Structure 1
Amino acid sequence: MSALFNFQSLLLVFLLIICTSTYGHSIMPGIMDRNQSGFFGIFWKCARIGERLSPYVSICCVVMAVSIFFGG
């Protein structure tokens, strides 16, 4: 089943994009800041979400991991 039709998989994909973009921005901020608009602007926006809401994103990652681990 595609991640678009399974809500848990869709949330997992969003969390992975946010976490990966945040990590990528910490490694190479110049490249991410240069592409604030267009298609690659999505990753810049996800990096901002990950930086500003990091406690909530961390809690969501833990909840998702527990949910997947216990077969939800």
Structure 2
Amino acid sequence: MSALFNLKSLLLVILLLVCTSAYVHALMPAILDRNKDGVLGVFWKCARIGERLSPYMSLCCIFMAVNMFIGN
């Protein structure tokens, strides 16, 4: 089943996208800062979400990890 049709998998993909974008922006901010518009602007926006909501994002990561561990 595709991640688009499974809510749990879709949330996991979005969470990983936000966390990865924030990590890349912390390492190399120039790459994401010059691409604020267009299709690549999605990664810049995800990086902003990951930076500003980092305590909540870490709680979501822990929740998803526990949920994946218990669910399987």
For normalisation by structure 2, the TM-score amounts to: 0.97
Matches within 5 A, 1:1-72: 1-71=1-71
Which consecutive residues of structure 2, in runs of 5 or more, have no partner in the other structure?
A: none
Q: Which amino acid aligns with 1:27?
A: L
RMSD: 0.8
Measured after TM superposition, the shift of residue 71 of structure 1 is 1.1
Measured against aligned partners, the alpha-carbon deviations of 1:6-34 in whole angstroms (never above 9, x if no partner) come to: 00000000000000000000111011100
Q: Which amino acid aligns with 1:33?
A: D
Post-superposition, which runs of at least 4 consecutive aligned residues in structure 1 deviate over 2 A? Answer: none
Which consecutive residues of structure 1, in runs of 5 or more, have no partner in the other structure?
A: none
For normalisation by structure 1, the TM-score amounts to: 0.97
